[in-house]
Amino acid sequence: MNEFELIRRYFERPHARSDVALGIGDDAALLQLPPGHEFAITTDTMVEAVHFPAGAPARAVGFRALATNLSDLAAMGATPAWATLALTLPRADAAWLKDFAAGFFELAETFDIALIGGDVTRGPLTITIGAYGIVPEGKAIRRSGAQAGDRVFVTGALGEAATGLKIYAPESRGRDRYLYPQPRVVEGTALREYASAAIDISDGLLADIGHLVEASGVGADIQLERIPAAAGADRQMALTGGDDYELCFTIQPARVEALHAAWHDDWAPLHDIGIITKRRDLHCIAPDGTLWHAETAGYRHFQ
């Protein structure tokens, strides 16, 4: 199977988007952006044995590679629309490719995303996805918009993916969560009407709140008893475990009631975990008022 057959067989799929003027097959794709909107563009690379365990199921590798990119778009409040896929493969393994494509398109179809191009090369298993979203001009949620007095919220429960990695047992909830993260796309697009700043939780809650407060030039007081730990996750895992792909965002206190009113029952649940401070550091406060010191650093590639 040559590279063109491989692309045709596994990656050329019909889609329903009318804004793709030209998709896979030419030197570049052509897209139409609706008037009054901006592109939100993100890229993530996944390397076998670095970002996922060697021998992980191919369906999960395809699903998760797209999910992490969609999570970044969600944290901007952007609606995902298109994706590109650069695939580096040690060999053209038909069974692996079929499962990989099944995982990728399962998620792509859920959110009406067209695969519009990519690349195929030979080498150690590496997946680079570009995801392209649409957001009304000026409405994207940045990391830098938090202000003193804003409430700090997270969606869902934290630390579940970390329990999956530790145990790595077949059929644990944590393992499923790690392999098939659910990007908070619907929640993220709703948040652009409410949030003052947002980030997705890929490196661990404290590390990612750290990025948000640093970008905003503020700090935060986080109430430890309010952190929504997943079943089986201890406090350390909930605070520092990565890979959950929940959203962390800030919101003006006057907007909180409207947020709760707009929030759908079947969306990831909201948890108010603290407040943004003028003081530029991060405090984790135990119920008795003492400061709790956690190892805040998330995963770092170069250290």
Shortest Cβ distance from residue 27 to ligand ADP (Å)? 5
Q: Which is nearer to ligand ADP, 117 or 174 (CB)?
A: 117
- Burial level of 121, CB count in 10 A (0-12/13-18/19+)? exposed
Closest Cα partner for 51 from 181, 239, 209?
181
Shortest Cβ distance from residue 120 to Mg ion (Å)? 8
Instruction: With beta carbons less than 8 A apart as the criterion, state whether 191 and 287 touch.
Output: no
Instruction: With beta carbons less than 8 A apart as the criterion, state whether 67 and 183 touch.
Output: yes
- Kindly state the number of chain residues that form the binding site for Mg ion, as judged by CB under 5 A: 1
Q: Which is nearer to ligand ADP, 67 or 284 (CB)?
A: 67
| Order of strands across the sheet that contains 79-89 | 37-47, 126-136, 79-89, 114-122
Q: Which is nearer to Mg ion, 119 or 295 (CB)?
A: 119
Which of Mg ion, ligand ADP, none binds 24 (CB below 5-8 Å, type-dependent)?
ligand ADP
Q: Between residue 92 and residue 121, which ones bind Mg ion under the rule CB under 5 A?
A: 119
Taking 3-state DSSP, the helix, strand and coil percentages for the chain, each rounded to the nearest 5, stand at 35, 30, 40
Shortest Cβ distance from residue 275 to Mg ion (Å)? 49
Round to the nearest angstrom and report the end-to-end CA distance of the chain.
41
Residues 6+ away with beta carbon under 8 Å from 295: 236, 240
Instruction: With beta carbons less than 8 A apart as the criterion, state whether 173 and 160 touch.
Output: yes
Shortest Cβ distance from residue 124 to Mg ion (Å)? 18
Which of Mg ion, ligand ADP, none binds 26 (CB below 5-8 Å, type-dependent)?
ligand ADP
Which of Mg ion, ligand ADP, none binds 7 (CB below 5-8 Å, type-dependent)?
ligand ADP
Q: Which is nearer to ligand ADP, 115 or 213 (CB)?
A: 115
Residue ranges in contact with ligand ADP by CB under 6 A:
7, 11, 24-27, 85, 87, 115, 117-120
Shortest Cβ distance from residue 179 to ligand ADP (Å)? 21
Contact positions vs Mg ion (CB under 5 A): 119
